[in-house]
Amino acid sequence: MQPSLANATRTVVKIGSALLADPETGALNEAWLDGLARDVASLRGRGKDVLIVSSGAIAIGRRHLGLPQDALKLEEMQAAAACGQIRLAHAYQSALARHGIGVAQILLTHEDTEARRRYLNARSTINTLLSLGTVPVINENDTVATNEIRFGDNDRLAARVAVMMSADLLVLLSDVDGLYENDPRHDADARWIPTVERITPQIEAMAGDIGTPSAAGGMVTKIAAAKHAMAAGCHMVIAEGAVERPLTALEGGARSTWFVSTATPRAARKSWIASALEPRGTLVIDDGAWRALLKGRSLLPAGVKAVEGTFERGDAVAIRVEHGREAGRGLVAYSAADARRIVGHKSREIERILGYRGRAEMIHRDDLVLDEEQGP
């Protein structure tokens, strides 16, 4: 299917600081945000999930704290983010409330989107928020992120979020309307690239050198985001953000560059679970549980007979049917130690046994792939 906003069911929209906050004064561009909110309402009205990854916290906060425009120390940036994020979230809340849409704030670090422990939490919380009809507004948790656990740029954060949430489209609203063979700011005749199907070394060369000052948030991070998204079955588009209704403009055919993925998010996620991760252990299940899995259900602790190996929550494990062969793989919601304590028990007994309210499923069906399901 042709990638487009109309065809996507779950879209992540990434919004750069320059669109939201005046680079000189840090003042919020409320008129622009209002147009964006209309666009988001139109997508929501068509039954589509929308997630916003928004920058702007530092740009807005630095003005309120009276910090200088030029290079800030890490702790000053973090202070600016803390001050700006609350204003940013409030601005989204008011703009979307005018359309009867609730927002929910999520602040993530690099670690939260890694494929373990916290990844499962972030994914199921955001899924719950979407199913409740809200628009998650996501940013990096700049205030606590140290250099080692920072993304440092929201293009890559947005791609991680898109992949984590199995989105089928990532829209990067930018100050350029796509990818060009040469930098269009310096070469008026630079040739525009309408579609990219594979990130070749030539495409990477067009993005420029990672060492240039404009690299952060420039094309280099956008191409890195495209690589990540495309491999996970998510299309990406770079489009001009500085127009009144940027998503309407995109739907109306405004110039942009589409990065087209040949996979689907579901197939890519299944293949990632099935082959990219080394299983750390095995869950041996009974026939009843196996029949439930074949009907598309989740694996509950009650259906597990034995736990083999040492693993942590979020690790990949193999699934073996009692007296049989390996039948699938999944991301497990409990550590091996906790899993051993709850096997054979009803989900409602988990809290009493473990002393905390864990997930009802040992492996949620979204995190599970059966051998039968593999292949294209």
List residues binding ligand GLU (CB under 6 A): 16-17, 55-59, 81, 139-140, 142, 153-154, 217
Nearer to ligand GLU, 11 or 174 (CB): 174
Q: How far is CA 315 from the centre of its chain?
A: 19
Between 134 and 139, name the residue whose CB sits nearer to ligand GLU: 139
State the nearest-atom distance from the C-beta of 145 to ligand GLU, in Å: 9
For residue 347, what is the DSSP state? G
Go through the chain and tell me how many residues it has: 376
Phi, psi of 357 (to 5 degrees): -90, 95
For ligand GLU, the closer CB: 78 or 271? 78
What the block records as the tokens of 16 is 């750069």
> Shortest approach of ligand GLU to residue 212 CB, angstroms?
16
Cβ at position 192, least distance to ligand GLU in Å: 24
Burial class (CB in 10 A: 0-12, 13-18, 19+), 243: middle
Residue among 55 and 261 whose Cβ is closer to ligand GLU: 55
The minimum distance between CB 79 and ligand GLU, in angstroms, equals 12
- With contact defined as beta carbons under 8 Å apart, do 64 and 26 qualify? yes
d(C-alpha 171, C-alpha 52), whole Å: 10
Q: Provide CB contacts within 8 A for 187, sequence distance 6+.
A: 180
Amino acid at 357: R
The 10 Å Cβ neighbour count of residue 187 is: 11
Question: Shortest gap between Cβ of 154 and ligand GLU (angstroms)?
Answer: 4
The β-bridge partners of 50 are 11
Q: Which is nearer to ligand GLU, 58 or 224 (CB)?
A: 58
Nearest to ligand GLU by Cβ — which residue?
Answer: 55
User: Which of residues 55 and 271 has its CB atom nearest to ligand GLU in the complex?
Assistant: 55
The whole-angstrom separation of Cα 66 and Cα 78 is 14
Closer by beta carbon to ligand GLU, 81 or else 333: 81
Annotate 153-212 with DSSP letters as a single string: SHHHHHHHHHHHTT-SEEEEEESSSSEESS-TTT-TTPPEE-EESS--HHHHHHH--TTS
CB of 20 to ligand GLU, least distance (A): 9
Q: Give the nearer residue to ligand GLU in terms of CB position, either 57 or 300.
A: 57
Relative to beta strand 304-309, strand 281-285 is antiparallel
| Tokens representing residue 338 in the block | 């906790």
Report how far residue 217's alpha carbon sits from residue 334's, in angstroms, rounded to the nearest whole number. 37
Least distance to ligand GLU from the beta carbon of 102, Å?
21
Closer residue to ligand GLU (CB): 8 or 137: 137
* Contact present, 98 and 131 (Cβ < 8 Å): no
Q: How far is the CB of 156 from ligand GLU (least distance, A)?
A: 8
Q: Measured from the CB of residue 85, what is the shortest distance to ligand GLU in angstroms?
A: 7
